[in-house]
Structures are given as C-alpha cells and as structure tokens.
Structure 1
Amino acid sequence: MATELFGRPIEHARERRGSLAQTAAVESSLMTDGPSTGMRRIRMVAGDVDLELLPDRGLDLGQVRVGGVPLAWLSPTGFPRASVHDGDGRGFSRAFGGGLLTTCGLRNVGPAADDGGEQHPMHGRYTSLPATVVRAEATDDEVVVEGVVREAAVFGADLELRRRVTLVPGERTIRVDDVLTNRGADAVEPMVLYHVNFGWPLVDEGTRLHSPATAVRPRDEQAAVGAETWDTFPAPSHPYPEQVFAHELPKDERVAVEVLNPRGLSVAVRFDTAQLPGLFQWRVAQPGLFVLGVEPALVPTILGRAAAREQGLLRPLAPGAALTLGVEIEATGSLS
C-alpha cells in the first residue's frame, strides 16, 4: 500500500480534497460516436495513472497515461465490436485497436488454425467476448474492477476467465490478475497470450528492451534481418515488415521485461514463468505502425493451435481445474 500521493502523505490528501474522486475514481460510460459506438468504457484513475478498460473486449486495456504520458500504441481501427467470424480468419486484425493489453486466446494464439476439424480464428475469440463486470470500486487503498469472461459452446469447450485489474493510489503499477477455469465436463487445452503494446513516446528511436531471456530467436527470415539489433528500436522506415522474436526464459522465476526510453521513462512487464513460460517480442517500425509488443504466453509458440499440437505443447486443463495467470506493468521515471 502506498503511503504518499503526489509527493505528500495520504493523510495530507484526505484533509485537503473535497471528494475521493479527486485522487481515485472508477467511471463508466458508453461510446456514442465513431467505430466504438455502443461500446462500454470504464475509466480507472489512481493518482497520476489514468487507465481505460474495455468491457466489451474481454476487459482488456485501452490507452493508459502515467503523468499525462500515453504508454500504449493505438491502431487506426479503433475499438469496434470485434468479429472473429470472417471467412479468412483475420477478423482479429480488422478490429485490433492495440491498447496496452489485448488478450489472445483462450484456445488459439497466432494465425487461424484448423485443429482436428475445428476452426480457430486468428488469436482466438477472446477479444470478441464481452465481460460481465461484477465489481468496480475506488478507495484510498486501491481502485479495482473485476469481471468474468466466458468462451463456451454447446457440446464444446467451456472456459471462464475471471479478471481483476488493480491500481493503488500513489503507485504507478497496473496489476492484471486472471483465473482461468474449465467449467466444462471434458478436459480443454487452453492457449493464452498477453499482447502488451507500447507506442510513442515511450517507443522511439533508441528505446531499449531488456529481457531475462537466456536466448532470443527470430521467428522467420524477416525477423532474422533484425536479429542482431532485437534489443534496440530503430528509426521509422517504410516498408518495415513485422519482426517477431521468441525469448527463451528461465524456469519458475518471477521475471521482468523492461522497455527503456533514452529520455528517462521506463516500463517493466513482470510475470511468473511458472505460469507463463513463453515470451514473444513484436516489432514494427514504419509510419503509423510504430509499435513494440511484449507478449508473455501460456504456451511457448505463436504459430497457431495446429502447430502447438504438432509440437506437443498443449496441456490439458481438467474439468473444474483452474490456472492462475496475469501480468504486472509498472512505469518509472519521466521523459526529459
């Protein structure tokens, strides 16, 4: 629990504000214009952290500002109601708004896949699923929103993800805690990836990525071109084909991946490799698509469900069993 807020003790703030909402708040709204018309928004404010939640996109994170500085990359699609039913399986990319966190899964990560005759869209169905918000509360100690997302089908898999997003006034840390439970009668092999998307001004020419990886491997020939400079973000150029790198992680450790801007702002993504043993880095440096993705994953592949099965990477989750997952994102420093 933080003891200070804006450089003063918490008690100092309590005596001088007229309402808790001056320093900590949860505000719900409905978008009424543009691609996001009809979509719910929840704004979480704690001190100088201002966070946008997207209940109709699985309670994922949109833009996040710390001290007024935006951390997330936003795409030109905005955040419309997502569809994963396009014939080519690429509905995800047509509604991928970016944001600080897009959750991929719960049964596919990577390209659209045919797994034993069952079709799985690109990066799964999660981003098209609305959450049931069960708690939204602000106090001096914490600002919390909780929701439940269910991916289910009659005669099919039934997975429930219960998410809790927490801010603490006086801290610059976002905690996303998930519990994934198999509510069905049969075992299910889940796939989950936390697609954390950083953009300008945090990501700029010379921004560095510090990884706990013991080895870093390019996904393909396009990534191999940048294999020697995976840790340093380049200047924008066009065209700049996307590059994806797989990071091999130490087992059963709490690790941090750090994004460090040379002007003094840094952001760390923390997670437990016992829960999320995979890590991928996504990099594109062309105008309009200037983004650095840090992507912890439950299954250490980004090539789709069929490839994961071929490689023997899928693990069954028994009926009634649950997995504890999540990431923590902390900003430090400032831009000079």
Structure 2
Amino acid sequence: MKKALILSTLALLISGQVAAKTWVLTDTESNTEQGNWHISSHQLNIKSSPFSIEQTVLHGGKQEGSKLLVIKSQNGLTITLIPTRGMDILRVEGFGVRMGWDSPVKEVVNPAYMNLESRNGLGWLEGFNEMMVRCGYEWTGHPGMADGQLYTLHGKAGNTPASKVEVSVSDSAPYTITVRGLLKESTFKKADLQTQTELQYVPGSSQFSIHDVLTNKGDYDHDYQIIYHSNFGQPILEEGAQFLAPIAQISPFNDYAKKGLSTWQTYAGPTKGFDEMVFNIAPLSGANHQTLAAVVNKAGNKGAAIHFNTTQLPVLTLWKNTDTLKQGYVTGIEPGTSYAYPVSIEREQKRVKQLAPGQSAHFDLTYQLLHSASDVNQIKQDIATIQGDKKVEEISTPMAKE
C-alpha cells in the first residue's frame, strides 16, 4: 500500500509543479461545449508514453446526449468517465483485467430521462451501471421521508451533468493526465453545494487517483454525506473470491444480512434468488489515517483495491449482490462518511456532517488495478500490517432498523 500511495502522491506533486496544456470541453459560464473531441500523445509530440483522450457524444434511446470521456494508455489503463453523470467512472480496463460490472442497464442514461422519485425514491437504479458513482453530496443512503420531503436513493450528484469539464496534460514526464469536473447541487432556499472533482492518471500506471473538494457556497450551515459506491464484477468477482480490508468491527446492515455474517470475507457464484447483503464496517487505518480495501479473485492474481483516508471517509460499506449474471452479479466496496441507512437514521446516529458557509471538505482516493499474484500479495501484506494482532469484532445485531 505504501508504494501505491507514494506513487500517487509523487504524481500529484509532479503535476502540480510543471506547466500543463489545458482544454476546456464544457463551461456553462462561457457557453462552451466541444462535443466530440480528441487529443493524443502523438499530437503533443510525446513519444515515451503513448496515450489518447477522447470525448464522444452518445445518441439513441435514453443515452441521447450523454458523453463519455475516455483516457486510453497504450501500456496502461483505459478509463471511461461520464461527464454527464456526475463525472462517474463507467469502467476501467487494462492488463487483461476489468474494474466494473455488467448491469441490466446497458445504456449510459442521460439524467434528463431519470426520475429519481419513481419507485418510491428508487429511480436512481434505472441508470445504475457505473464502476464508481458518487452518492451524495447533499444526502445519500436509502430513500426515506424527513423534513417533509422525500430523500431519494443515494442523492443527486451521480445524476448531475458537470457544469465545467477540463482536461490537462503536464508538459514534462511522467505526462500526468488530469480531468476536472464541476458539479453543482444548487436549489433555491435549500442548498448551494459545489464539488470540484479531479481524476489524475500517469500513462502506463495501473492506478489512478481521485481528489474531490466539496464546498458550501451558501450563507448557512448545510449537511453533507458521501459514499463512493465502487462496484466490481467479473472477472474479479467469482465463486471463492475474497473481500480484504483491515477491520475493527463489522455488523449486518439488516436482518437478512445476519445469515451472511459468518462468510463475509468470501463470495458465492451467481445465485438466483439471492437478495443483496450489506455489511457496515469500521475500518482500521495505519500511518496518517491511510487504509485500503480490496476484492480479489479465487486464484489471487486479479483484483481491485481502493486506498483512502479515514479522517475524510471514516466508514466502509460492503455490498454483496451475487445474483445471476443477467440480474447483476456485483460487489460494492464503498468508503464514505455515512452508511447506507436513510438520512433520518444517519442523523440520529450522528454520522451526518456539516459545512459552514465557505467551508470545504476534501476526499482523496486511489484506485489500483491488481493484475498479478505479486500485486495481490502486496495488498494482503499491507492489510495484515494495519490489522496487526487486532481481532475483528463481529456484531450480529444491525446498528439500526429501517
């Protein structure tokens, strides 16, 4: 883990110290929209790290007008972002491994066709197919009534088109690629939260970093919540795959998950009739509050890991949805400020945070694609170091009841 974090930090430092070429693809203030757009290392006269960055506007069905922004590194990862869906990450591929999953939702649904209040607040599911979706920031969690209004599933950020999108490439090696997006959750008399999202990637690397800054632009204190809903299916997820993390405490989300508590570390194959099992985790962390969580295949030579900071994201949710392949065979590793209970419960249990006017909160994560046994073994070693001799406390009673 230390090596991964050092590399990520080094990339951030390098990219911040050198000049960069920047392209603005979308900007509502200047009425800018590039539409289909492309740049490559060849055009920039970069010979050591072949890559391309391309934006495509989609057409047809519910994806009409949606946009994909694809970073393709010849010797590294292909990262597909969705500027029209909260700067979410649709999928990541490289080294013969995919981070992502197969949802019954095949189109990249334009938020204009979404009704988040449908199905009693579960309308969010009608567009859910991303590898990583930002659940927040004004609220997150299961739908429920509070303050005389319906709080829909997992908030609005993941279905908010970015108001500004820009791409930068540093002028010097390692030619760090940075994609920034601006998400606005602004409602008259309610909230004015803005999130500056940032993804950084060094061509040829097997990892990338996320740095998001949430700011309260209003004149009043305002609640915020976030869950980084990160989802993985085949080829990583399979019968005998393992979930790995340094853990202080784990408990079932509800009564249904109780029967899966004894096997929370392993996964079943695709199972018809399997309802989702969710577990609430209090993660342990090491130096500088850094920790990680991972899912690896049965053979231990493929996987995905997420490195994060527990001062920023103090809780972790494990979502096991080992239903049939067509229904959506997937697991979620979800660092956050809250568990997935409705807002009312999270408030009662004092996990909902607040920002004062002008105040910001920062969220830093590194996603690492594991493509060899040595990668997986290093992650296991890093987790074991943080876990030490501490025993995982398994609590059989859910911490709340919806």
- Give the TM-score, by structure 2 length: 0.75
Give the structure 1 partner of residue 318 of structure 2: 281
* Paired AA for residue 186 in structure 1: Y
Give the structure 2 partner of residue 36 of structure 1: 63
* Paired AA for residue 130 in structure 1: P
* Paired AA for residue 55 in structure 1: P
Give the structure 2 partner of residue 70 of structure 1: 98
Give the structure 2 partner of residue 122 of structure 1: 153
For the residue of structure 2 that corresponds to 1:236, the secondary structure is coil
Give the structure 1 partner of residue 271 of structure 2: 237
Q: Is the contact made by 1:159 and 1:184 (CA closer than 8 Å) also made in structure 2?
A: yes
Q: Is the contact made by 1:26 and 1:138 (CA closer than 8 Å) also made in structure 2?
A: no
Q: Is the contact made by 1:25 and 1:143 (CA closer than 8 Å) also made in structure 2?
A: no
- Please report how far the alpha carbon of residue 34 of structure 1 lies from its aligned counterpart in structure 2 after TM superposition: 4.0
**CA–CA distance in 1 between the matches of 2:98 and 2:350?**
40
Q: Is the contact made by 1:107 and 1:120 (CA closer than 8 Å) also made in structure 2?
A: no
- Please report how far the alpha carbon of residue 132 of structure 1 lies from its aligned counterpart in structure 2 after TM superposition: 2.6
Distance 1:71 1:317, change over 3 A: same
- The structure whose residues are more often helix, as a share, is 2
Give the structure 1 partner of residue 361 of structure 2: 323
For the residue of structure 2 that corresponds to 1:45, the secondary structure is strand
Q: Please point out which of 91, 107, 126 is paired with 2:123.
A: 91
**CA–CA distance in 1 between the matches of 2:197 and 2:205?**
20
Superposed counterparts of 1:1-336, under 5 Å: 20=46, 23-46=50-73, 47-78=75-106, 79-82=108-111, 83=114, 84-86=116-118, 88-97=120-129, 99-139=130-170, 140-250=174-284, 253-263=289-299, 264-287=301-324, 288=326, 289-299=328-338, 301-334=339-372
Deviations 1:40-80, CA, capped at 9 Å, x for gaps: 11001233200110011110000110124321013111321
**CA–CA distance in 1 between the matches of 2:159 and 2:342?**
18
- Please report how far the alpha carbon of residue 20 of structure 1 lies from its aligned counterpart in structure 2 after TM superposition: 4.0
* Paired AA for residue 292 in structure 2: A
**CA–CA distance in 2 between the matches of 1:312 and 1:51?**
36
For the residue of structure 1 that corresponds to 2:180, the secondary structure is strand
**CA–CA distance in 1 between the matches of 2:344 and 2:110?**
27
For the residue of structure 1 that corresponds to 2:118, the secondary structure is coil
**CA–CA distance in 1 between the matches of 2:176 and 2:163?**
21
* Paired AA for residue 230 in structure 2: V
For the residue of structure 1 that corresponds to 2:101, the secondary structure is coil
**CA–CA distance in 1 between the matches of 2:245 and 2:183?**
31
* Paired AA for residue 306 in structure 1: S
For the residue of structure 2 that corresponds to 1:189, the secondary structure is strand
Give the number of equivalent residue pairs. Answer: 322
For the residue of structure 2 that corresponds to 1:214, the secondary structure is strand
For the residue of structure 1 that corresponds to 2:185, the secondary structure is strand
- Please report how far the alpha carbon of residue 85 of structure 1 lies from its aligned counterpart in structure 2 after TM superposition: 3.6
Q: Is the contact made by 2:97 and 2:371 (CA closer than 8 Å) also made in structure 1?
A: no
Gaps of 5+ in 2: 1-6, 11-40, 374-402
**CA–CA distance in 2 between the matches of 1:262 and 1:53?**
29
- Please report how far the alpha carbon of residue 298 of structure 1 lies from its aligned counterpart in structure 2 after TM superposition: 1.3
More displaced 10-residue stretch of structure 1: 85-94 or 159-168: 85-94
Q: Is the contact made by 1:45 and 1:143 (CA closer than 8 Å) also made in structure 2?
A: no
For the residue of structure 1 that corresponds to 2:121, the secondary structure is coil
Q: Is the contact made by 1:48 and 1:68 (CA closer than 8 Å) also made in structure 2?
A: no
Q: Is the contact made by 2:240 and 2:268 (CA closer than 8 Å) also made in structure 1?
A: yes
Sequence identity percentage = 26
**CA–CA distance in 1 between the matches of 2:119 and 2:357?**
31
* Paired AA for residue 314 in structure 1: V
Give the structure 2 partner of residue 11 of structure 1: none
Gaps of 5+ in 1: 4-15
- Please report how far the alpha carbon of residue 249 of structure 1 lies from its aligned counterpart in structure 2 after TM superposition: 1.9
For the residue of structure 1 that corresponds to 2:230, the secondary structure is strand
- Give the TM-score, by structure 1 length: 0.90
Q: Is the contact made by 1:187 and 1:316 (CA closer than 8 Å) also made in structure 2?
A: yes
For the residue of structure 2 that corresponds to 1:316, the secondary structure is strand
For the residue of structure 2 that corresponds to 1:262, the secondary structure is coil
Deviations 1:60-111, CA, capped at 9 Å, x for gaps: 00011012432101311132123224362111012212x2101101122221
Please list every run of at least 4 consecutive aligned residues from structure 1 whose deviation after the TM superposition is greater than 6 angstroms. Answer: none
**CA–CA distance in 2 between the matches of 1:261 and 1:44?**
26
Distance 1:87 1:184, change over 3 A: farther
* Paired AA for residue 123 in structure 2: G
Deviations 1:281-311, CA, capped at 9 Å, x for gaps: 0001121221110000112x21111111222
* Paired AA for residue 215 in structure 1: Q
**CA–CA distance in 2 between the matches of 1:284 and 1:85?**
23
* Paired AA for residue 367 in structure 2: I
